[in-house]
Amino acid sequence: MTNVLVTGGAGFIGSNFVRWAHNAHPDWQITTLDKLTYAGRMENLAAVMDSPRHRFVHGDIADAAVAGPLVRESELVVHFAAETHVDRSIQSAADFITTDVIGTFVLLEAARQAPNLKRFIQISTDEVYGSVPTGASRETDELRPRNPYSASKAGADRLAYSYWATYNVPAIITRASNNYGPNQFPEKVIPLFVTNAIDNIPVPLYGDGLNVRDWLHVDDHCRGIDVVIDSGTNGEVYNIGGGNEVTNVDLTHRILELAGRPSTLIRKVADRQGHDRRYALDTSKLRGLGWAPQVGFEQGLAATVDWYRQNETWWRPIKEQDQAYRTYYQAQYGTRAGA
Ligand code: NAD
Ligand code: TYD
């Protein structure tokens, strides 16, 4: 058996990865370490909770007493745990520094003392490149993060690299584009707009709606990480992008159409501060290892809308009963004047 530590495995991508890897790798003994912040949900791990090949540990990656022993017993670490929402980082950046930067540092320090560690996968993001008006970011491009979230992730990304260059920690960095799919917390644009549309309430589109994101289905992200674990080279960076560049306004129209709602639900609101205009990735390096996205955007988006339709018991309690969510929503949208 291979001892695998997945941090942040109760969140959106982490839980999809744990479920996917549990099926794909019967020889993996998976430990999920998660602090269960607002974004971490035990329900996301229901499918593996009874498995003898999965163990859940409730804890903070920045707590060396908890995280250290788990890293030291692992052969593979896949590090997803992070504060992840740009809008929240603009409201308050402190947790982003503590978790994304210091938490990653704590894991890397433990990784220096892990006798059997073969890979430490640092899950980074295309947002570290900053806004790219034209062309597509390559792994060798300069990092120009422009908001507290992407700056924290850039810090973690380069820390992981430095631990490889300095101490030979077997780190690999992946930089994925915007993910979508099941179990994404309803604060990011797709699950927020889908669930608002299901409820027939307005969807708040920032600014002129012409910002571009490259959408990657979470299953394609999982497969990309797996290829990197298998065939990547330590110390290297791999972009993982879906190749689906869509403006926010186009995305919003598609969601409303799939939900059977009129475009009059679109509410143009004040723009995000420092809003990155466009992200785009050159993925030829990972494609060179045999990976290619398999989920078409139309098909993936339709399946995602269906998932939210069929899993109201997952998101409705968050949106309707969770006081912390209500407080966040009010702070973010309550006073947002029309653009
Ligand atoms: P998420 O917010 O849904 O989940 C984050 C998880 O990390 C939660 O389960 C949370 O409880 C846990 N966590 C937070 N702080 C922790 C701490 N201190 N200790 C232990 N656990 C902690 O995030 P996501 O969208 O699934 O993103 C996962 C990773 O992928 C992040 O590193 C993110 O930067 C990266 N990423 C995300 C996207 C995207 O589109 N969502 C794209 C590229 C990269
Ligand atoms: P988001 O899902 O927060 O991801 P990120 O900022 O990490 O790319 O936002 C995706 C895009 O959608 C981004 O350009 C901001 C925009 N957006 C809105 O227009 N309205 C919203 O309510 C949200 C949450 C995002």
Distance from Cα 248 to the centre of ligand 2, integer Å: 8
pTM summary value? 0.98
Q: Please write the tens of the pLDDT for every residue from 165-195.
A: 999 999 999 999 999 999 999 999 999 999 9
Distance from Cα 9 to the centre of ligand 1, integer Å: 8
Distance from Cα 247 to the centre of ligand 2, integer Å: 11
Whole-number Å distance between alpha carbons of 62 and 98: 7
CB contact at 8 A, 254 and 193: no
Asked if residue 191 has its Cβ within 6 Å of ligand 1, the reply is: no
Q: Please write the tens of the pLDDT for every residue from 311-333.
A: 999 999 999 999 999 999 999 99
Looking at the structure of the chain, the number of domains it has is 1
Among protein residues, the one with the nearest Cα to ligand 2's atom 5 is 86
Residue in this structure with the two tokens 């018991």, named with its chain if needed:
313
Residue in this structure with the two tokens 């992840």, named with its chain if needed:
84
Digitized pLDDT (tens) for each residue of the chain, 339 residues in all: 999 999 999 999 999 999 999 999 999 999 999 999 999 999 999 999 999 999 999 999 999 999 999 999 999 999 999 999 999 999 999 999 999 999 999 999 999 999 999 999 999 999 999 999 999 999 999 999 999 999 999 999 999 999 999 999 999 999 999 999 999 999 999 999 999 999 999 999 999 999 999 999 999 999 999 999 999 999 999 999 999 999 999 999 999 999 999 999 999 999 999 999 999 999 999 999 999 999 999 999 999 999 999 999 999 999 999 999 999 999 999 877 554
Asked if residue 248 has its Cβ within 6 Å of ligand 2, the reply is: yes
Asked if residue 39 has its Cβ within 6 Å of ligand 1, the reply is: yes
Asked if residue 80 has its Cβ within 6 Å of ligand 1, the reply is: yes
CATH number of domain containing 334: 3.40.50.720
Burial class of residue 273 (count of CB atoms within 10 Å of its CB; 0-12, 13-18, 19+): exposed
Whole-number Å distance between alpha carbons of 14 and 123: 10
Q: Which domain holds residue 271?
A: 1-339
Which secondary structure element, helix H or strand E, spans residue 32, and what is its range? Answer: strand 28-34
Q: Specify the pairing of strand 76-79 against strand 2-7.
A: parallel
Q: Which residues are catalytic?
A: 126-127, 149
Asked if residue 106 has its Cβ within 6 Å of ligand 1, the reply is: no
Asked if residue 204 has its Cβ within 6 Å of ligand 2, the reply is: yes
For residue 153, what are the contacts with CB-CB under 8 A and spacing of at least 6?
82, 100, 124, 125, 127, 128, 145
SS3 of 251, please? helix
Mean of the per-residue pLDDT values of the chain: 97
Pair of tokens at residue 85: 């929402």
Distance from Cα 189 to the centre of ligand 2, integer Å: 5
Whole-number Å distance between alpha carbons of 195 and 319: 9
- Give 266-312 as a DSSP string: EEEEPPPTT---B--B--HHHHTTT----S-HHHHHHHHHHHHHHTH
Distance from Cα 332 to the centre of ligand 2, integer Å: 12
Q: Which of 100, 146, 248 to mutate to test the pocket of ligand 2 (most atoms within 8 A of CB)?
A: 248
Q: Which of 80, 83, 152 to mutate to test the pocket of ligand 1 (most atoms within 8 A of CB)?
A: 80
Residue in this structure with the two tokens 């020889």, named with its chain if needed:
27
Helix axes 189-198, 297-310, angle to 10 degrees: 50
Asked if residue 285 has its Cβ within 6 Å of ligand 2, the reply is: no
Among protein residues, the one with the nearest Cα to ligand 1's atom 19 is 60
